């Protein structure tokens, strides 16, 4: 069990920034932290890294409580904060060697070289961090987070502000990391979660509103086909829910109904056959699809 | 702590800060001790380094805040402090590392003034006719004073993200602890024994006492307490995100 968060609450003044958040992450898992801005993602991450204290609740990293055993817990966490703060006047290698020194790594130089190669910084290793473009700075941020080979990586919006090519490259690095490590990354880009995570937590106003594997979430998110239908005559809802593949029936008004089925089913032929069979007049028959974004919006409204 | 210490030292000497601080200090001291007629040792006809020990604290009053102002203010502004405090380091290790680095820079500035000692030593009639014990004590006193100023400066820097505010605050606090208590003790409301007590809170009293060449335990304890007090205040100030 790499990260255990239980009943985490953080109160700022009167606002509950994080409200009863509980989850666990295993090694080999890449957990996506989704939510609109200000939902409590960053606050939760800052509590996991030990930067902020929780109002109540506990966080354990690699079995160490972040409050009771902070040194042990911090040693097994690699952290990339939200705006990727770096010492602009330091050189790439100098900075990474400094980080290695703090973690008291044996063979710092070799390890730094390895990280520079892995993050694709080889041609920039002798540059000052301040001279680097945003994408390369992000790589330095990743390199410092991964340098001491931590079990747990906390990445706060690792791809924000990058161009599409850089995003793909950074995601590739994160995916590779996720094979053996525990990775928690926050984002508000849904495609990112689909691309790199195998599990996602959607957080809204400090509360967890969904916690599932990507497959389940996807079927839950995009996994509905909705048909709106209006008949000329009165119909009983039992009649409609008895139709094949119909999962849910909702009354929208006088003789207007909304029928829900799984994504791969189109209910329109079934409904029109039903209407013909019962000699009903079809006034409206329209298929609506819910996009990933819409479900996300629904969950976080 | 060692890693932080060397990073800070590197930061001083890979930017201009380190050279400017040492340069400004030595130029000012050189002018005051050997050139400007009012203070010059050559005109005073006495083989002493009193001018050095009288003027160095005045120069430190603005030079040390300039050294310490960025230590925490800059890290808070750029957000690097968040990364630093989430590493397996205690806040004490961070503060001590930075404290020792700033103090080292000040010692680097002081080292060349040993040359003045040898010069004055040779200039005495006969050579060597000077109060070596007094000078030794004064150097110890100056070191303690510099360390106290560094601790005060670090504390000021940990209070704000703004380096200018940190500088002004540090300069004010250094001045306050250095001379203000001495001046306050002359107020008529402090009479009898109280004026001595007020005077003894200030740095000047203990610095002067050390300059006489007598390293008194009371003065050492005073300086160490002042340094530890401000370093502890810095640690508390760093931890205020947890409140």
Quote the CA–CA distance of A274 and A276 in Å, as a whole number: 5
Report the residue of chain B nearest A144, measured CA to CA: B83
Ranges of beta strands (E only) in A13-103 are 15-25, 30-34, 56-61, 64-65, 77-80
Q: What is the distance in angstroms between the CA of the first residue and the CA of the last residue of chain B?
A: 25
Sign of the four-CA dihedral A186, A188, A194, A196: negative
Q: Is B16 on the interface with A (CB under 8 A)?
A: no
User: A49 and B79: CB-CB below 8 Å?
Assistant: no
pLDDT of A290 higher than 60: no
| Mean pLDDT across B93-120 | 93
What's the pLDDT at B110? 92
Quick: pLDDT tens for A40-62. Answer: 899 999 999 999 999 999 999 99
Q: Is A294 on the interface with B (CB under 8 A)?
A: no
What's the pLDDT at B96? 96
Residues of A in contact with B89 (CB under 8 A): 102
The listed CATH number (3.90.1300.10, 3.40.50.10440, 3.30.70.100, 2.60.40.1220) that belongs to domain A222-299: 3.30.70.100
Quote the CA–CA distance of B93 and B87 in Å, as a whole number: 11
Q: Please, where in chain A does CATH 3.40.50.300 lie?
A: 3-220
| Mean pLDDT across B98-109 | 95
CA dist B95 → A88, A107, B60 (Å): 21, 26, 20
Residues of B in contact with A83 (CB under 8 A): 79
Q: Is A127 on the interface with B (CB under 8 A)?
A: no
What's the pLDDT at A218? 67
Q: Please, where in chain A does CATH 3.30.70.100 lie?
A: 222-299
Q: Is B240 on the interface with A (CB under 8 A)?
A: no
Range of the domain at B188: 2-242
As given in the structure block, the two tokens for residue A147 are: 């340098």
Q: Which of B83, B89, B241 has its CB closest to that of A79?
A: B83
pLDDT of B68 higher than 90: yes
Which one has a higher pLDDT value, B243 or A128? A128
Q: Is A12 on the interface with B (CB under 8 A)?
A: no
User: B82 and A85: CB-CB below 8 Å?
Assistant: yes
- State CA B152 to chain mean position distance: 9
As given in the structure block, the two tokens for residue A2 are: 């790499």
Which one has a higher pLDDT value, A183 or A262? A183
The pTM assigned to this predicted structure is: 0.84
| Mean pLDDT across A102-115 | 92
User: A52 and B88: CB-CB below 8 Å?
Assistant: no
Most confident of the following: A187-196, A245-254, B8-17, B211-220: B8-17
What's the pLDDT at B182? 83
Q: Is A102 on the interface with B (CB under 8 A)?
A: yes
Number of domains in chain B: 1
Beta bridge partners of A185: A32, A155
Q: Give the residue from B15, B113, B115, B2 showing the smallest Cα distance to B67.
A: B15
Q: Which fold has domain A3-220?
A: Rossmann fold (3.40.50)
Q: Give the residue from B153, B114, B152 showing the smallest Cα distance to B33.
A: B114
pLDDT of A291 higher than 60: no
Range in A174-188, A200-214, B33-47 with the lowest mean pLDDT: B33-47
Q: Is A71 on the interface with B (CB under 8 A)?
A: yes
Q: Is B88 on the interface with A (CB under 8 A)?
A: yes
The helix/strand/coil state of A186 is strand
**B216 secondary structure, DSSP code:** -
Q: Is B43 on the interface with A (CB under 8 A)?
A: no
Instruction: Tell me how crowded residue A233 is: count the other CB atoms within 10 A of its CB.
Output: 11
What's the pLDDT at B181? 85
Quote the CA–CA distance of B53 and B139 in Å, as a whole number: 8
| Mean pLDDT across A179-189 | 88
Provide the number of CB pairs (under 8 Å) joining chain A to chain B: 59
Report the residue of chain B nearest A141, measured CA to CA: B83
Q: What's the pLDDT band for B193 if we cut at 50, 70, 90? A: confident
Percent pLDDT > 70 in chain B is: 100
pLDDT of B117 higher than 90: no
pLDDT of A295 higher than 70: no
As given in the structure block, the two tokens for residue B170 are: 């540090």
What's the pLDDT at A46? 93
What's the pLDDT at A289? 58
What's the pLDDT at A120? 86
User: A101 and B6: CB-CB below 8 Å?
Assistant: yes
Percent pLDDT > 70 in chain A is: 93
pLDDT of A214 higher than 80: no
As given in the structure block, the two tokens for residue B236 are: 């508390």
């Amino acid at each position: 069990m790499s990260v255990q968060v239980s009943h985490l609450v953080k109160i700022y003044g009167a606002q509950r920034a994080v409200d009863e958040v509980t989850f666990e992450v295993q090694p080999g898992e890449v957990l996506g932290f989704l939510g609109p801005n200000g939902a409590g993602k960053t606050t939760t991450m800052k509590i996991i890294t030990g930067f902020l204290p929780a109002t109540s609740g506990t966080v354990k990293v690699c079995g160490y409580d972040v409050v009771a055993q902070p040194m042990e817990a911090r040693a097994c966490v690699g952290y990339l904060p939200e705006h990727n703060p770096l010492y602009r006047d330091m050189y790439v290698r100098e900075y990474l060697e400094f980080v290695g020194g703090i973690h008291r790594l044996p063979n710092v130089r070799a390890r730094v070289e390895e990280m520079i190669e892995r993050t694709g910084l080889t041609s920039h290793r002798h540059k000052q961090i301040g001279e680097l473009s945003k994408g390369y700075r992000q790589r330095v941020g990743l390199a410092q987070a991964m340098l001491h080979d931590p079990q747990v990586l906390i990445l706060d919006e690792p791809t924000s502000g990058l161009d599409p090519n850089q995003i793909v490259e950074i995601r590739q690095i994160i995916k590779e990391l996720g094979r053996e490590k525990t990775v928690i990354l926050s984002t508000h880009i849904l495609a990112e979660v689909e691309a790199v995570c195998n599990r996602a937590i959607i957080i809204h106003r400090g509360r967890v509103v969904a916690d599932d594997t990507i497959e389940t979430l996807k079927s839950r998110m995009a996994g509905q086909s909705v048909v709106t239908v209006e008949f000329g005559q009165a119909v009983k809802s039992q009649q409609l829910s008895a139709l094949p593949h119909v999962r849910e029936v909702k009354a929208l008004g006088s003789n207007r109904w909304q029928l829900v089925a799984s994504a791969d089913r189109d209910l329109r032929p079934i409904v029109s056959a039903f209407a013909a069979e019962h000699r009903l007049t079809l006034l409206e028959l329209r298929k609506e699809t819910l996009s990933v974004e819409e479900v996300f919006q629904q969950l976080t409204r | 702590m060692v890693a932080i210490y060397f990073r800070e030292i590197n930061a001083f000497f890979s930017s201009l800060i380190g050279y400017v601080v040492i340069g400004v200090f030595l130029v000012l001291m050189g002018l005051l001790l050997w050139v400007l007629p009012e203070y010059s040792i050559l005109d005073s006809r006495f083989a002493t380094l009193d001018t050095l020990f009288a003027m160095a604290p005045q120069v430190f009053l603005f030079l040390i805040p300039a050294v310490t102002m960025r230590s925490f203010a800059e890290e808070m502004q750029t957000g690097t402090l968040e990364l630093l405090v989430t590493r397996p380091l205690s806040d004490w290790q961070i503060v001590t590392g930075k404290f020792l680095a700033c103090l080292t820079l000040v010692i680097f500035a002081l080292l060349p003034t040993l040359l003045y000692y040898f010069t004055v030593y040779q200039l005495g009639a006969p050579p060597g006719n000077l109060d070596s014990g007094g000078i030794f004590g004064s150097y110890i006193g100056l070191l303690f004073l510099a360390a106290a100023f560094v601790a005060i400066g670090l504390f000021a820097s940990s209070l704000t993200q703004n380096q200018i505010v940190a500088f002004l605050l540090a300069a004010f606090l250094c001045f306050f602890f250095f001379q203000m208590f001495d001046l306050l003790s002359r107020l008529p409301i402090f009479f009898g024994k109280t004026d001595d007590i007020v005077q003894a809170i200030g740095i000047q009293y203990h610095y002067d006492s050390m300059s006489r060449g007598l390293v008194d335990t009371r003065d050492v304890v005073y300086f160490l307490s002042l340094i530890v007090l401000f370093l502890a205040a810095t640690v508390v100030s760093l931890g205020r995100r947890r409140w």
